[in-house]
Structure formats: structure tokens, C-alpha cells
Amino acid sequence: MVVTRFAPSPTGYLHIGGLRTALFSYLWAKKNGGKFLLRIEDTDKARNSQEATDAILKAFDWLGLTHDGEIVYQSQRDEIYAKYIQQLLDEKKAYRCYMSKDELTELRQTQMANKQRAMYDGRYRDFDGEPPKGVEPVIRIKAPQNTEILVRDGVKGDVSFQANDILDDFVIARADGSPTYNFVVAVDDHLMGVNEVIRGDDHLSNTPKQIVIYEALGFEIPKFYHVPMIHNSEGKKLSKRDGATDVMEYKKMGYTPEALLNFLVRLGWSHGDQEIFSMDEMISHFNPKDINKSASIYNTQKLDWLSSHYLKNSSNKELAELLSEFDLVLTSHDKKEILLDAIKERAKTLKEMAELTKEILATPRVYDEKAVKKAFKDGSTDILNAFALKLQNSDELHLPSDYHDAMQEVVSEMEIGFGKIGQPLRVALLGKMSGPGLDEVMAIIGKDETILRIANAITANS
């Protein structure tokens, strides 16, 4: 059975790169009928944030990425780690290092002067004398020497590391007894039954150390898939400006879970030329072996396109419920269907839908100067007055087509082009030149509000 995991550190919020890793891990587990586990790596007590932990769990809930089993918190597992550290000490696979800070500083300075890589020199590796007083020892593992460490990676292929070039006897427990990152990751993955690890390739350099720990403890080494990073359009590391922000910010920006997950699954993975995937299709088609070996490029336009697709294909009932989170209540609006049909064809996000909707429903208080200058010319007031009178005398105004017919009648009666009425009317209704179809706007706001807005615009711009 395939068991994957996502293991965020709650020293910051869940960002877009981490979410993609979680999604890949989730899809692979579900495809294989396995388990997707969640572990909170909160051993850094000084930097951990409960708020960040809560935000991570909220993001998973919003996106529907349900994890299996209980959440594992590393901060609650000190006794487990201490047991395995003691095991390595008892088996002479680890040892106490009494190197003082002064000794370490002197070693580093000598290595720098000789242009050598900064590495621990193993001076306490086989020490069996009297421990120096006043030094609280760290615990170091006996790393292999003069050998190759091979990482079998499902994305990158076999990656070979020469132990002498990258490894010293690294610390697995600090002087205060707290275990280090690479040690707890290896122990937890084994105890949780994780046998396939999908993570960012910034962790590739940690993998040899974790393999050393796996082998020292007699644990089976999982399969690794190291996923290349997400870059911005310039090929550089993604920044907050580019989109590397708290996942829940995407909810505030008005993106739906479906659009965001569809966007992420295509960052570094593909299935032919298919662009739109349901969750079932993602699970069916995804295989980490198909992940690209090169970095993927974050493209906001692609995210907006996907978001627009999902909005256009959402039911108006569903959209009305989602828009309530943007301070817009439409459930009882008698023209809800016309309104949402008009807006969802134009908006890229729920937030934009809400803003466009509010622009339609709110009577304009100000008018765009350039639009007024372009639209209000000689005769515009007479045309608008004629149209308002036409509306006033009509009792059959319900659908957009009814208002369109009224506009067409004025155009024919006054022998003018459609633009002569369309431009000043648009400014009167919306305060600007852009927006949905005029007939739709008038059907939404109704006859009385349309006449009121015409009168207001004439008064303000005559």
C-alpha cells in the first residue's frame, strides 16, 4: 500500500509550493488506494506559531484535501526520539561529542584559511577518555566514509553523492537533548509507515543524511520523488509578489479550490494536452514519474483563465453561496439568474464577480470624466429623456429583451445610430463605459431605478 505524507513546519503559512507538494502526495496515495498522512513538524519551539498551524489546517479543509488518520505533531514525540537516539548510542553507531564552541570556532577558521569545506573532523568519534568538564555534549551519528550514497529518485533518476564530500558526523541531538530535523524526519516517516516521499528538490541535499539514519536504525528506505521548484516568469525563485503567499490569500482573492488545484497540478506535471481536470481525473491520471525534471513557471494568466472557466461552469445557486463570503447576499434577489449569468461571463474571480455585481446594484455617485466627455455630446440629453419617457410609459419591462426593444424603438423613432443612445446610457447606468450588456443591467435594476439613474446623470453632466 502506498503511504505518502505532507509535513509542513508551522513557522509560517502554507504557501503555494508546499500546497503543490501536498496535492501530488494526496493524488498518488488516492490513486493507489493508499493513505495520505499529515505531520506537523513543530520541534522548533521558538519559531512555531499556533496561528500558522491553524492556517495550514484551514487551507486543507478549504481545498478538500482530507488526510487519513490523526495528525502527528513532532513536539509530542520527544520520548520516541530519545529512545532511538539511545539505541544508536548503545549500538556504537552514534556518540557524544564534547567539542566546545571555542574548538569548533578554531576548526572553522583553520578550514577557511586552508580553503577547505567546513566539516566536523571527527575528533570525538572514537573517544573513550574522561569527558571534559563544563561541556554539554551533542550526539553525532557515525556517518559512512569513503563510500557512495545513492539516492534513487523517481523524478531525477539515480543521484550519487560521495560521502566524504558532503557528510561529516552530523548532529542528531543537540546539547539540550532535542533531536535535529533530519533525524526526526527519518524516524517519523518510518514509524508512520510512509514508503513514498514526494517533496521539493530543495530537500534533496537532506536525503543522504536521512538515508544514513535509515540504515543505522535498520529502517527500509522509502521511494523519493524530488519535485523541481516553481519559478516566476523570469526563471527566478517565486516571491510573494509573484504568488508565493499564504494559500488562504487565494481564497480572499476569489479563486475557487477547483481552479487553484487544477492550476497547481499542471505546474510540473501534464497528461497529454489536457488542461482541465476534475479531482477524479487528477487521481486517475497522476503519476509522480511524469513530473517534469525542470522547474515550472508560475503564470497568473493561466490561473485566471482556469478560474474563469470554473466560474462560467458553476451553477448560479453555487455562485450565490460563494459570493456571500464577499459581503454580497443574492439569495433573495428576484433577478439573481440574469445578474449572475451576466457577471460570470466577464469575471475571472469571485472577488471580481462581487465587485462587478455591486457596481451594477449601486446607483452611481461619480462619473468617469473621460467617459462623460466621450458620451455626453449634443443631443445626448434629449435621447436619454426620450428613452426614460419610453420606459415610463411601458408596463411590459421584465426581461433584457424587453429593454432592448425599448432602446431599438427610440433609435428608430429618432433616426440615430445605436451608439448615440448606448454610450450615454451606459455612463448613466454604471458611471463608466465598461460593463455588462445594457439590456441585462436594466433588467436587473428594474424600470424605476433605470429612470432614476438617467435623471441623475443628466443633472450631473448637463
For the chain, the structural domain boundaries read 1-70+228-313, 78-227, 317-461
Do residues 43 and 179 lie in contact, with contact meaning Cβ atoms separated by under 8 Å? yes
Grid coordinates of 229 = 521548484
How many other CB atoms are found less than 10 A from the CB of residue 119?
16
- 101, amino acid identity: K
Do residues 97 and 142 lie in contact, with contact meaning Cβ atoms separated by under 8 Å? no
Tell me the CB-side half-sphere exposure of residue 222, using CA atoms within 13 A: 25
Do residues 168 and 143 lie in contact, with contact meaning Cβ atoms separated by under 8 Å? yes
Q: Please state, in angstroms and rounded to a whole number, the distance separating the CA atoms of residues 314 and 92.
A: 63
Q: Which of 240, 252, 293, 377 is catalytic?
A: 240
Q: Are strands 35-40 and 3-6 parallel, antiparallel or unpaired?
A: parallel
Q: At what angle do helices 447-461 and 438-445 cross, to 10 degrees?
A: 110
Q: At 170, give phi and psi (nearest 5°).
A: -75, 155
Angstrom CA distances, 38 to 6, 58, 69, 194, 381, stand at: 5, 13, 8, 11, 66
Closest CA to 177 of 92, 101, 89, 107: 89
CATH node for 317-461: 1.10.10.350
pTM beyond 0.75: the answer is yes
Is 31 flagged in the annotation as binding? no
Fold of 1-70+228-313: Rossmann fold (3.40.50)
- Digitized pLDDT (tens) for each residue of the chain, 462 residues in all: 999 999 998 887 889 999 999 999 999 999 999 999 999 998 877 677 788 888 899 999 999 999 999 999 999 999 999 999 999 999 999 999 999 888 888 888 988 888 888 889 989 999 988 988 889 999 999 999 999 999 999 999 999 999 988 899 999 999 999 999 999 999 999 999 999 999 999 999 999 999 999 999 999 999 999 999 999 988 888 877 777 678 999 999 999 999 999 999 999 999 999 999 999 999 999 999 999 999 999 999 999 999 999 999 999 999 999 999 999 998 888 889 999 999 999 999 999 999 999 999 999 999 999 999 999 988 899 999 999 999 999 988 999 999 999 999 999 999 999 999 999 999 999 999 999 999 999 999 999 999 999 999 999 887
Residue 45 annotated as catalytic: no
Closest CA to 260 of 44, 79, 19: 19
Query: Do the domains spanning 1-70+228-313 and 78-227 agree at the CATH topology level?
Result: yes
Q: Please state, in angstroms and rounded to a whole number, the distance separating the CA atoms of residues 396 and 157.
A: 71
CATH node for 78-227: 3.40.50.620
Q: Quick one: 204 exposed, middle or buried, by C-beta within 10 A (0-12, 13-18, 19+)?
A: middle
Tell me the CB-side half-sphere exposure of residue 84, using CA atoms within 13 A: 25
Q: At what angle do helices 16-31 and 257-265 cross, to 10 degrees?
A: 80
